[in-house]
Amino acid sequence: MSESEASEEVVRARGHEHVSAEHASTFEVTSDDWLTPAGDCIVGVEADRVPADFDEAFVEACRDSAATLSVTLEADGHEQTVRGRGHPDLTFDGDRSMVVRTSDHVDDRTVVVGAEGAAADLDRDLVSALAAGADLTVTLRVA
């Protein structure tokens, strides 16, 4: 695997009619195939990969507190990138979902901390496409 391949992970998911993207401090993509209206941080379901599937070289790079991480969401012609940072305590052990956080909280689902935005900050056209069930591509990069 080349250095550039190790510095990027791509997850494919889809939107859902209950995507509202109203959460103020996180956004999440889950491998679950369902979403209730209460899941206001979830922007995609049926993810084909979860953090536990990510390449070890990518995970190690993300464990550097000086690492800059970006998460690009693409759906139905809409694209938005949210930047944050790595953290030494990131485990990438999550086997159901991945969470991008504006805080420094870390659990097994956390893939980015200190993010510059959360679900509520996402472009509303992107959110509308996801609420209509559009396919979602999530690209995580570390620098």
Note the helical H segments in the chain: 3-6, 56-62, 124-131
Q: For 3-142, CATH number?
A: 2.60.120.630
User: From CA 84, how far away is CA 114, in angstroms rounded?
Assistant: 5
The answer, as to whether pTM is greater than 0.85, is yes
φ/ψ of 3, rounded to 5, equals -60, -40
The one-digit pLDDT tens for each residue of the chain (143 residues) are: 444 456 999 999 999 999 999 999 999 999 999 999 999 999 999 999 999 999 999 999 999 999 999 999 999 999 999 999 999 999 999 999 999 999 999 999 999 999 999 999 999 999 999 999 999 999 999 99
